[in-house]
Structure 1
Amino acid sequence: MRGVSTLLLLLILCPSIMYPQAITDTLKEATLPNCIRYGLEHQPAIRASLIDEEITEATIKNKLADWYPQLNVTANFQHYLKMPVSIFPDFTNPNGPKREVQTGVRNYFTPQLALTQTIFDRDVLLASRTARDVRKQAKQTTTANKIDVAAAISKAFYDVLLSMQQIQVLEETITRLDRSLKDAYYQYQSGVTDKVDYKRATISLNNSKADRKVAQEMLFARYAYLKQQMGYPAEKSLQLSYDTTHMEGEVAFDTLQKVQYESRIEFQQLQTQQRLLQANLKYNKWSYLPTLSAFGYYNLIYQNDEFSKLGSRSFPNSYVGLGFAWPLFQGGKRIWNVRQANLELKRNEVAMTDLKNNINAQFSQAIATYKGFLADFYAQKENLDLASDVLSTLTLQYKSGVKTYLDVIIAETQLHTTQLNYYNSLYQVISSKIDVEKALGTLTY
């Protein structure tokens, strides 16, 4: 009794013992790999593909079930409102007129146990020979969707980072401009300069604040798009975790790699489709072959003129046999079915050739874009150092009275533009690298 009381107390104090813990839909550390992993588990397109795989598996098992023996029970009740009549010769007078005789009884009840076994049938033969490729086709569709989701999440992830970096650059710019504005105002108050420098600083500061507002709104929209690609709840927060220094190391890529068509999931899908079409061609050729099946029946026939005595006696019978069907002529239908299957096979071969050309074009475009963005990235990285050095030098010269404030504003604008260009080029080269990997078929998820 004491043990029961202890158990009840535990259930009251710890209800989680009775109910499973709720699965969290949030990410503790939203790195790019974690975001992709989350998307592959929660993205509706992936979940739909996995359900399609289950549907495909159920369909295959449904078709293969026809290979197994089929056991059925049927029953039929029959009551004659008017008895059937049979005509028999008059055995007492063979040369006389024939006699009309009512035959049978009024009530029949016939339960039947039927066992059938397919020996050869082209439908079940096709199902057994194509089951592996049909499963593979469903899995390849899921793989293609996963690749698309991984690429989309990666680009959306970098778009969010780009907006975050733009805001950070604008914050730094606003801080510098605010400081410059104060310096220009103090110099104006002291009579060293006129109000032009002060107003120029105010204009630049206002423009930077407006740009920051635009970037903040864009960040909100890009976060929403990233969540949508991940299948992440829109109402829940998502804070990305990243390392800009590590990202700079990700821009490198071996541009000497060659296209391998078999690595592309689209080409693999066409190869699987080719095997299925070859099986379909054989299926149509098998239409010239007969079908063969075995069967066995056991019947219990209850018959009586009185319904109340219908179940008093049965007249069982049973038999076994073979069923054979051989269609000899169908108006040329089988000939045209075979021709159509051949044309579908050739059509798929043309699609494979066309896909190879498209893959070559995609790779050439992607690798050219990547190389261009890579060169721009290295140039912007060098410009960033130069622009920062120029601004520092001109700021000191302005405070010494050597340079005008206009020179400082121009240098400030150049640094601001160069910083934005640098981060734009960084994310563009990483995004174009994703396109190259996708074109090569080497994008992992």
Structure 2
Amino acid sequence: MNYSKKLLLFVFIFTSIIYAQKEKRIIYLSWKNVIDISLKENLSLKSKSLDYEIQNFETWKSLSNFLPSLSYQGIAQKNIELPVFVFMGQRFVVGTPYNFQHSFNLSLPLFTGGARWFNYNIQNNIRKSLKEELEGKEEETVLNAMQAYYAIILANEMCKTAEEAIKVAKQNLEQVKKFYNAGTATELDLQRAKAQYSSTLPVYESALSNKKLSMQRLKMLLNIPLEDSLVVIDSLDKQDFLNEYENISLDELKAISKEKRNDLKALKYQQETTKAGEKIALSSFAPTVAIMASLDYAAPMENTKVTWNDYIRSKSLTLSLSWQLFDGGKRIIDYQIAKIKSDQMNLYLNQAQYAADLEIEQSYYSFNEASKNLQSLKDALEQYKESLRISNLLYSQGMSSQLDVLNAQLLYTKSKSDYLQGIYNYNVSQLALLKSIGLLDKIWK
């Protein structure tokens, strides 16, 4: 490879690296940004939105059945063999070698047993059901994104806690080494201090891995390239998402859910759809009345040299009635199937209501548990923090054993982790409770 080719390759690689670096972004996030981005960029939500748009067109299409249809037909015909009639010994040829025709046909069903109207009701109810499903998908997406967001904050705080534990364990190890070298600490004390320090390192690596995975999961939910960097603005503080709903009883929450939950409202619209399906099945027993109008221009020719003056105009208006009297029982079977689908939808709705009530109870008790535990965890953290301070002080003065210091370190680290997990549970349980009653959208609307 000559010098010019090497130089060109180097420039290409260098340019690609610079361009790739420019493509990477640093995105700053607060919990409100997470909600906004998830509602706009989440791929599953976009797909659900497209389903709703398609159904909007389906609803408009169902209205087109009430309008007349207009069609045009053009014919150029070459008759290979014309019919011949023999009358009293003479042969008569009927028709011409060529036929040219232009036709305009207008058709309008006047009565179809209500099928067109019931079909519109079905499409409209499906549209309403999809709208509720879309709003429910929005709540689900926001909940998942917020859980991932707070998981990042929790993992970040766990990393800090693990780093603090490493630092404390290292300081303790150095202090024990000094006492050991001075002859005031035993070999057992030294080995315990080393073991304590070594045990803190895997915890830090685990917290670091959880932080990275939480970052990647949030990027996926927000449709952010995995190569981009996220900077979390918020800290793991106690949030009050419930506000006025915090002190509402369980029965009141269940009553709210019956009016607000999107999945229940979607199923109710689907229930209306199956009822309309029964009516469509019944409409098939009714006759169909339609009116048709036709405008024809025909030109029977001996050759292909046709002009507009050769065409003969004709008009017709037809009123038709069609009534299927027997089809082997197919319509009766269709009606029975439609009734079964309605009964089946009623069962789905009842089952969904039971599931909703159970979800509300679970979310309600989880929030109460998280709320009551949070203050206890905070008090325990303060006590263990003071206990660790006193243990270190007493050990440095020779008034306590090194085992007391190790136990105090373990209890303090565990209590801090529990307290951080308690804040996370408190915040997330509120979001889950709001979603269970169909009011999660109140945090962004």
Q: For this structure pair, what is the TM-score category when the shorter chain's length is used for normalisation?
A: 0.7 to 0.9
Aligned partner of 2:311 in structure 1 is 314
Deviation at 1:264, TM superposition (A): 1.8
Q: 2:195 aligns with which of 203, 206, 230?
A: 203
Q: Letter of the aligned partner of 1:111 in structure 2?
A: H
Q: Letter of the aligned partner of 1:104 in structure 2?
A: G
Aligned CA distance change for structure 1 residues 337 and 309 (closer, same or farther; 3 Å): closer
Aligned partner of 2:93 in structure 1 is 102
Aligned partner of 2:220 in structure 1 is 228
Question: Could you tell me how far apart the structure 2 residues matched to 1:360 and 1:218 are?
Answer: 33
Deviation at 1:386, TM superposition (A): 0.7
TM-score by length of 2: 0.86
Q: 2:434 aligns with which of 427, 432, 437?
A: 437
Aligned partner of 1:294 in structure 2 is 291
Q: Letter of the aligned partner of 1:426 in structure 2?
A: I
Aligned partner of 1:119 in structure 2 is 110
TM-score by length of 1: 0.86
Q: Letter of the aligned partner of 1:206 in structure 2?
A: S
SS of 1:239's partner is: strand
Aligned CA distance change for structure 1 residues 66 and 443 (closer, same or farther; 3 Å): same
Question: Could you tell me how far apart the structure 2 residues matched to 1:129 and 1:251 are?
Answer: 38
- Report whether the alignment pairs 1:242 with 2:242: no
Q: State the number of aligned residues.
A: 413
Deviation at 1:304, TM superposition (A): 1.3
Question: Could you tell me how far apart the structure 2 residues matched to 1:107 and 1:250 are?
Answer: 82
Q: 1:364 aligns with which of 361, 365, 373?
A: 361
Deviation at 1:167, TM superposition (A): 0.5
Q: Do 1:118 and 1:294's aligned partners in 2 also have CA atoms closer than 8 Å?
A: yes
Residues 95-148 of structure 1, C-alpha deviation per residue, up to 9 Å, x if partnerless?
xxx755211111001111122223233443233334432321221121121121
Aligned CA distance change for structure 1 residues 250 and 167 (closer, same or farther; 3 Å): farther
Question: Could you tell me how far apart the structure 2 residues matched to 1:271 and 1:186 are?
Answer: 74
Aligned partner of 2:337 in structure 1 is 340
- Report whether the alignment pairs 1:254 with 2:251: no
Residues 392-427 of structure 1, C-alpha deviation per residue, up to 9 Å, x if partnerless?
111111122111122111111110111111112222
Aligned partner of 1:93 in structure 2 is none
- Report whether the alignment pairs 1:398 with 2:395: yes
Question: Could you tell me how far apart the structure 2 residues matched to 1:325 and 1:157 are?
Answer: 64
Question: Could you tell me how far apart the structure 2 residues matched to 1:87 and 1:219 are?
Answer: 99
SS of 1:308's partner is: coil
SS of 2:231's partner is: coil
- Report whether the alignment pairs 1:326 with 2:319: no
Cα RMSD for the two superposed structures? 2.4
Deviation at 1:385, TM superposition (A): 0.8
Q: Do 1:50 and 1:142's aligned partners in 2 also have CA atoms closer than 8 Å?
A: yes
Deviation at 1:27, TM superposition (A): 7.7
Q: Identity, % of aligned pairs? A: 18
Q: Letter of the aligned partner of 1:78 in structure 2?
A: Q
- Report whether the alignment pairs 1:268 with 2:259: no
Aligned partner of 1:15 in structure 2 is none
Question: Could you tell me how far apart the structure 2 residues matched to 1:74 and 1:309 are?
Answer: 17
SS of 1:441's partner is: coil
Deviation at 1:25, TM superposition (A): 10
Higher mean C-alpha displacement, 181-190 vs 407-416: 181-190
- Report whether the alignment pairs 1:169 with 2:161: yes
Q: Do 1:60 and 1:127's aligned partners in 2 also have CA atoms closer than 8 Å?
A: no
Question: Could you tell me how far apart the structure 2 residues matched to 1:99 and 1:330 are?
Answer: 49
Q: Runs (4+) of structure 1 moved beyond 6 Å?
A: 24-27
Question: Could you tell me how far apart the structure 1 residues matched to 2:201 and 2:313 are?
Answer: 97
Deviation at 1:52, TM superposition (A): 0.9
Deviation at 1:331, TM superposition (A): 2.3
Q: Letter of the aligned partner of 2:408 in structure 1?
A: A
Deviation at 1:87, TM superposition (A): 5.4
Deviation at 1:230, TM superposition (A): 2.2
Aligned partner of 2:39 in structure 1 is 40
- Report whether the alignment pairs 1:149 with 2:149: no
Question: Could you tell me how far apart the structure 1 residues matched to 2:168 and 2:327 are?
Answer: 88
